[in-house]
Amino acid sequence: MAKKLILFLVEGITEKESFGLVFSEIFKDKEIEFEISHGDITTRNGVNTRNIIGKVNGEITSFLAKEHYKKSDIFKIVHLVDTDGAYVDNSMIEKHDEDNLYYSNQKIFASYPEKITERNEKKSRIMNRLSRTPSINNIPYNIYYLSCNLEHVLHNEANVKDNLKMELAEKFNDRFYEKANEFIDFISSEEFAVSGDYVDTWEFIKQGNNSLNRYSNFHLIFKNLNDHN
């Protein structure tokens, strides 16, 4: 009998580089594939709460067409997103003169704060919608967050320059190559793994400045996949 597939929807190649090998080791009874959206689908132009489910389904359909899988081959859709401080109060967004965004534990510094305010309002609404969605096109679906971004959780650095992200991803890959149990311990660390069930963890990240701080609910993937078996 062919193995069922876990499809990871991710923003970029660094997620695939960071997690691909260790996931293949952990989920030995499943096929592991990644669909890269090449950017944040929750902030993409033309995406809103009314059409986000269709947009995510479009990513799934695109993957199936390219890789010649059938919908029935997919066991679970696992969607990974950065929070980017999307749930903070607008008073936590301040203007600075540099071109790049800068995240601290308390504030977002941006050249055009009004654009970040608009981004956050859109992104938070869409994440709310997706976190309440148990399936897409009748395929089981969960969305997990890395706050405020991938590098923040994996490397404790929220403001990594783009040209260094792949290097960090490769180091992370090397660190946990053939060390699945160590990876599970790491991603479940009390330092950033939010306690509670799936709903609890999503309510937590919406509070105060939590979506700027180093938190994740990604550890729940292990429990949720087992529950679905």
Q: What is the pLDDT of residues 3-29, one digit of tens each?
A: 899 999 999 999 999 999 999 999 999
Would you say residue 132 has pLDDT above 60?
yes
Chain centroid, CA 218 distance in Å: 8
Average pLDDT taken over every residue of the chain: 95
Mean pLDDT computed over 125-138 = 98
- pLDDT value of residue 226: 56
- pLDDT value of residue 229: 45
140 close to 94: Cβ distance less than 8 angstroms:
no
Helix (H, G, I), strand (E, B) or coil at 196: coil
DSSP state of 195: P
Residues 6+ apart with CB under 8 A from 123: 40, 42, 43, 84, 86
- pLDDT value of residue 71: 96
Instruction: State how far the Cα of 188 lies from the Cα of 92, in Å rounded to an integer.
Output: 29
- pLDDT value of residue 2: 78
